[in-house]
């Protein structure tokens, strides 16, 4: 069975009050539409077609690598009209599943169940039962419980408004029959639009039995129309991610203060303090600890590592048992070896720091290779940029770099070398030797500190 998926993403999203198309607003760091595309791909769909409109080329440009067909709905005449625009792309499909770009948390398991439950008929509808169904189309059934039609709230009678089973808008249908029904949909309703929901009534008129299924959780089919609803679904989704981590053996000091905007994979017995933000792909090894208010981006934290408060780690690797922070910043291509210490207000970029070395205070290390057992004193900087090109600094094993040192790259500090505090090193420092550049200290005996003269009395001036 070849399944095609149509995703409707042409809505303007007026209530978002934004120049950004609604389906591109992020939830957990990914556009709403990307969540729906991922669900469709998880089904193994043979063809995915996205119908876009508001924002024009901005939507397909933002998701150009989605591997789907894009169809523009130049006139937004309703959901039925939108699906009809996508039907040429569904040629050769056996069945067509219709999803929505602003309903981001639909689970592939729910969709698989809908497809499977309706396998013996030409039409399946995902519904849900709500205590307060206001705003939704109602599912009208006959006395035997068979679905007759779906009526939109604006077109519903008083009796129909009392129905609590509502339409989610998600349907799966035989491809050929769906095309026929869409051709018969009319726009003689309050909105003057071609409703996809009218397909249900046309199907029952044709004697087709309509099968329904329901999601496990209402949030799966919750649509987003404004920023309040977006924030509510963000918190729900983050709560689900936090629960999943805890079930797998991670301790979260406060599950409500965790934001995963990508993917976070933790081995057992990881401890995460409050306000961690993860972006991209992050992996944390067993027994590692992450302090409060940290940010991890596309990085790997080794087993037993300790990341202290207010540290930012981006595109970096942290080895087993290393200690980072507080207030440290690791930039892309920083590779911190096992047992290393990177301390407060230290920035490291595109550098290798080998096992057991320490850069503990107020330093910048860029384009550098540091050997094992090195101590880098406070205030050390690598002067790696000459205004045009970047140059590398090499520091050998067991070297000692005194505080307030500037290493002007390209430069090499040999193994075991010691650099005196306050030096500017421009050439090779030999192994096992003390190298320093320091002006002679001078004391001026006759010097006196300037004294501020008192201001003239204001009354005398007047």
Long-range contacts of 141-148 (CB under 8 A, 24+ apart): 141/165, 146/204, 146/209, 146/210, 147/200, 147/204, 147/210, 147/212, 148/201, 148/204
* 318/153: higher pLDDT: 318
Per-residue model confidence (pLDDT) at position 244: 97
Q: pLDDT band for position 254 (50/70/90)?
A: very high
Per-residue model confidence (pLDDT) at position 456: 80
In the block, which residue shows the tokens 């540290």? 311
pLDDT higher than 60, residue 461: no
Cα three-residue angle 197-200-203, rounded to 5 degrees: 145
pLDDT, tens digit (0-9, with 9 covering 90-100), for 406-418:
999 999 999 999 9
> How much is the average pLDDT of 240-256?
97
> How much is the average pLDDT of 45-70?
93
Long-range contacts of 223-230 (CB under 8 A, 24+ apart): 223/100, 223/102, 223/103, 224/22, 224/25, 224/27, 224/32, 224/102, 224/103, 224/104, 225/13, 225/15, 225/16, 225/22, 225/102, 226/15, 226/16, 226/17, 227/16, 227/17, 230/16, 230/25, 230/27
Each domain of the chain, given as residue ranges in start order, spans 3-221, 237-435
The tokens for 221 are 């089919």
Q: pLDDT band for position 457 (50/70/90)?
A: confident
How far apart CA 205 and CA 148 sit, in angstroms, is: 8
Q: Omega into 179 within 30° of 0, i.e. cis?
A: no
Which of 107-121, 142-156, 328-342 has the least mean pLDDT? 142-156
φ, ψ for residue 116 (rounded to 5)?
A: -70, -45
Q: pLDDT band for position 458 (50/70/90)?
A: low
* 304/455: higher pLDDT: 304
Q: pLDDT band for position 459 (50/70/90)?
A: low
State the average pLDDT for the chain: 95
Residue pair 179/185 in contact (Cβ under 8 Å)? The answer is no
Catalytic annotation present for 361: yes
Burial class (CB in 10 A: 0-12, 13-18, 19+), 192: exposed
Q: pLDDT band for position 135 (50/70/90)?
A: confident
Cα three-residue angle 55-60-64, rounded to 5 degrees: 150
Per-residue model confidence (pLDDT) at position 76: 85
Per-residue model confidence (pLDDT) at position 367: 98
pLDDT higher than 90, residue 16: yes
> How much is the average pLDDT of 290-298?
98
Check if CATH label 3.40.50.300 holds for domain 3-221.
no
How far apart CA 171 and CA 10 sit, in angstroms, is: 18
The tokens for 407 are 């290493």
How far apart CA 310 and CA 50 sit, in angstroms, is: 41
> How much is the average pLDDT of 104-125?
96
Q: For 237-435, give the CATH class.
A: mainly beta
How far apart CA 178 and CA 199 sit, in angstroms, is: 8
Per-residue model confidence (pLDDT) at position 267: 98
pLDDT, tens digit (0-9, with 9 covering 90-100), for 432-448:
999 999 888 899 999 99
Cα three-residue angle 379-380-381, rounded to 5 degrees: 115
How far apart CA 388 and CA 238 sit, in angstroms, is: 44
**DSSP label at residue 86:** H
pLDDT higher than 80, residue 236: yes
The tokens for 57 are 């080329």
3-221 and 237-435 share one fold: no
Burial class (CB in 10 A: 0-12, 13-18, 19+), 82: buried
Residue pair 286/303 in contact (Cβ under 8 Å)? The answer is yes
pLDDT, tens digit (0-9, with 9 covering 90-100), for 76-100:
899 999 999 999 999 999 999 999 9
Share of the chain above pLDDT 70, in %: 99
How far apart CA 257 and CA 276 sit, in angstroms, is: 7
Residue in 54, 237, 361, 391 annotated catalytic? 361
């Amino acid at each position: 069975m070849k399944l095609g998926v149509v995703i409707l993403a042409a809505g303007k999203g007026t209530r978002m009050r934004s120049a950004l198309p609604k389906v591109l607003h992020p939830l957990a760091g990914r556009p709403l539409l990307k969540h729906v595309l991922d669900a469709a791909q998880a089904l193994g769909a043979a063809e995915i077609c996205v119908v876009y409109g508001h924002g024009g080329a901005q939507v397909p440009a933002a998701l150009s690598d989605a591997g789907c067909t894009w169809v523009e709905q130049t006139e937004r005449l309703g959901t039925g009209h939108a699906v009809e625009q996508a039907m040429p792309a569904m040629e050769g499909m056996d069945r067509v599943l219709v999803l929505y770009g602003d309903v981001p948390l639909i689970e592939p398991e729910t969709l698989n169940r809908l497809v499977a439950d309706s396998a013996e008929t030409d039409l399946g509808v995902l519904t849900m039962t709500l205590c307060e169904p206001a705003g939704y189309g109602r599912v009208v059934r006959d006395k035997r419980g068979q679905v007759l039609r779906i009526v939109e709230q604006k077109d519903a009678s008083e009796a129909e408004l009392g129905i609590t089973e509502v339409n989610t808008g998600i349907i799966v249908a035989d491809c050929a029959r769906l095309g026929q029904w869409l051709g018969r949909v009319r726009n003689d309703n309050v909105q003057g639009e071609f409703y996809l929901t009218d397909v249900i009534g046309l199907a029952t008129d044709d004697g087709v039995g309509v099968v329904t299924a329901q999601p496990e959780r209402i949030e799966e089919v919750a649509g987003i129309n404004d920023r309040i609803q977006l924030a509510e679904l963000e918190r729900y989704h983050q709560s689900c991610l936090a629960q999943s981590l805890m079930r797998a053996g991670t301790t979260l000091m406060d599950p409500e203060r965790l934001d995963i905007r990508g993917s976070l994979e933790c081995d057992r017995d990881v401890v995460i303090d409050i306000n961690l933000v993860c972006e991209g792909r992050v992996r944390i090894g067993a027994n590692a600890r992450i302090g409060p208010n940290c940010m991890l981006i596309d990085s790997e934290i080794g087993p037993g590592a300790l990341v202290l408060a207010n540290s930012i780690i981006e595109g970096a690797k942290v080895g087993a048992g290393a200690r980072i922070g507080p207030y440290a910043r690791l930039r892309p291509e920083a590779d911190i070896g096992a047992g290393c210490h990177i301390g407060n207000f230290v920035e490291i970029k595109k550098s290798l720091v080998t096992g057991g070395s320490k850069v503990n205070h107020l330093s910048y290390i860029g384009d550098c290779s540091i050997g094992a057992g090195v101590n880098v004193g406070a205030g050390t900087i690598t002067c790696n940029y000459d205004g045009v090109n970047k140059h590398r600094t090499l520091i050998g094993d067991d070297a000692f770099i005194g505080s307030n040192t500037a290493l002007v790259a390209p430069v090499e500090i040999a193994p075991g070398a010691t650099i005196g505090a306050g030096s500017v090193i421009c050439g090779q420092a030999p192994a096992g030797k003390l190298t320093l550049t320091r002006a002679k200290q001078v004391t001026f005996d006759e010097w006196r500190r300037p004294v501020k003269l008192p201001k003239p009395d204001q009354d005398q001036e007047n």
